[in-house]
Amino acid sequence: MKILLCNVSKKYETRAHDYLGLFYLAGALEAAGFEPLVFHGKPEDLIEQVKQNQPDAVGFSCDFDNVSLIADLSRKIKKGWEIPVIVGGPQSIGLDGQFLKESQADYILRGEAEVSLPLLLKAVLKEEGELSEISGLAMIRDGVFTVAPPEIIKDLDALPLPAYHASLHIDHAYGKLIFTGRGCPYQCAYCAPSPGKQQVRLRSIPLVLEEIKLNLENNPELKYIIIMDDAFTLSRERIEEFCRGMREIRQDRDLVWYCECHVGRIKNWMDILPTMIDAGLVRLQIGIESGDQQVIDQYNKHVKIDDIVEFVTYAAACGLTQIATNFIVGGPAESPGATATLIKTLIDRAPGIIDIITGFLRAYPGTEIMDNPEKFNLVLHDQSGRLSGDDYPFVTPVGCSQDQIMNMRQELNKVIRQSMQNKIKNHALKNEVVQKQFNAALKYGIRSRWFEEIAANPRAYEYYYVLYLNEGQAFERSMDFSSDYPQRTFELWRTMTFTEGFPKLDGMALSPLEYELLLRCAGKRSLAEIEVELYEHFGGPYHDPAEFHGKLVDLLDQFDFKYWLTHFVI
């Protein structure tokens, strides 16, 4: 029997995601004797897949953004085909009998479904077993909405590996996402509390490494894996075991990885970071959410701002390529300027490394914020979550309008961008740090906000790109002029203007010496040759060639600072 498992969204391209949970379910269904098919893509393409494959049942993964899409698609499927429709996923805990009536879906399945979904399908399609025995099942029976306690799977090693071969997207390569465990010991007030979330269960590291090796075998282009765990860094010993395995894998394949980290837990053994970096860690996510300690405490995050600053400083010093973090806008009222101040501090401590984004607060079903917004002095404007998206706040502090919250986020993003652009403009980033960002973006496809901001500065981008390609190097005052060949990073005709009767570049007027020096920096002549020629024309005011040489070095230093030149040695 064919079972079509679906994740639908209008926001993302099919190629962008693995939808790992669907493939774990597909593996479980296959082990139970079903033929799973996995679709992830746009809603307009799903009905055609139903027509082509004629499944015996359809299952949807429901999240915050696609509730309405699923309701509409469910009605269409029920109208065209007499087959069961099942809705699960992280948002399923917020769905009720009203949703079943509106969508005409048959069942809601809450919690981890690798065990319960096969049992439900056997009961519905094969008349094997009783619906009353299925964990996490919510349905309307005799006009009454009933809910059974969800399934929490304790032995994750017993689950089949993801069945990527069940995908309907033959042009998509999988294996980028991986779980090493489920659950999280923390209870942050804003975090969606899916069933089992607070029960940490871990897979054995040898099995995790086996899955990674299998993914590498099936996907020759795989260079970057994302560990999806909320609690990957809970145990130093487990991290060390994973890193030993990754170092072995990296002897044969160039593979880097990402994980999340709770600073409050890892602060006592931060010295594990060099081990993780040596094993391929390239991007690390930490939770901050606010620059106000009182707000962080309200969120129940169990972390101190001083520890965050210390950790970020240490991680940057260790050579970590990217530290990702997020700040929430629209949460409990903060001290004015607290978050902006922390953002500037972090950018000063880890320039070119700390990767900061912002997001509006969401009230997920089952969270303290959804259940008791008054505790946080918040107002919910869309409790169903069906009217709002990521681009508009539906939670605000008491006394603040939604427009004010949007303006707060705009202002905070200005602080982030201006701080980053100032670092770039003032040449405050170490070349080796920028080269790591280029390597992450161009080799592994991990584009940080720093890379994007550098790309928005044409001079800086061309300069660093030449350095990345190893086709040039930064200017050093001690360079040997006889073997150094300067090369402009731009084309003069595109960038230089004479509209005011004199040469201007990037809004700056050039002296005759500066202009003639730039003309000669075409990568064809050594600095020694250029110096001799320029001294003949401009050496008069200088006491001797040594003084002129010092002036030339100063100009070249300035040109390098403005990202106008790179140099190569012959």
CA proximity to 228, closest of 476, 29, 19:
19
CB atoms within 10 A of CB 331: 27
pLDDT tens track of the chain, all 570 residues?
A: 999 999 998 875 545 567 899 999 999 999 999 999 999 988 989 999 999 999 999 999 998 788 889 999 999 999 999 999 999 998 888 899 999 999 999 999 999 999 999 999 999 999 999 999 999 999 999 889 999 999 889 999 999 999 999 999 988 899 999 999 999 888 889 887 776 677 899 999 999 999 999 999 999 999 999 999 988 999 999 999 999 999 999 999 999 999 999 999 898 899 999 999 999 999 999 999 999 999 999 999 999 999 999 999 999 999 999 999 999 999 999 999 999 999 999 999 999 999 999 999 988 888 889 889 999 999 999 876 666 667 889 999 999 999 999 999 999 999 999 999 999 999 999 999 999 999 999 999 999 999 999 999 999 999 999 999 999 999 999 989 999 999 999 999 899 999 999 999 999 999 999 999 999 999 999 999 999 999 999 999 999 999 999 999 999 999 999 999 999 988
Q: Which CATH class is domain 175-430?
A: alpha beta
Helix (H, G, I), strand (E, B) or coil at 355: strand
CA proximity to 481, closest of 526, 545, 546:
526
* CA gap 521, 78 in Å, rounded: 70
What pairing do the DSSP bridges indicate for beta strands 504-505 and 181-182? Answer: unpaired
Is residue 79 classed exposed, middle or buried when 0-12, 13-18 and 19+ CB atoms within 10 A define those classes? Answer: exposed
Which two three-digit tokens encode residue 404?
């004010």
* Helix count and strand count (H, E) for the chain: 21, 22
* CA gap 190, 454 in Å, rounded: 33
The total number of residues shown for the chain amounts to 570
Q: What are the extents of the domains in the chain?
A: 2-147, 175-430, 484-569
Helix (H, G, I), strand (E, B) or coil at 40: strand
- Displacement of CA 408 from its chain's centroid (Å): 22
Which two three-digit tokens encode residue 168?
């309907």
Q: Are 171 and 69 in contact (CB under 8 A)?
A: no
Q: Which CATH class is domain 2-147?
A: alpha beta
CA proximity to 466, closest of 560, 567, 561:
567
Distances (CA, A) of 151 to 60, 134, 199, 308, 411: 18, 8, 12, 36, 44
First-to-final CA distance of the chain: 69
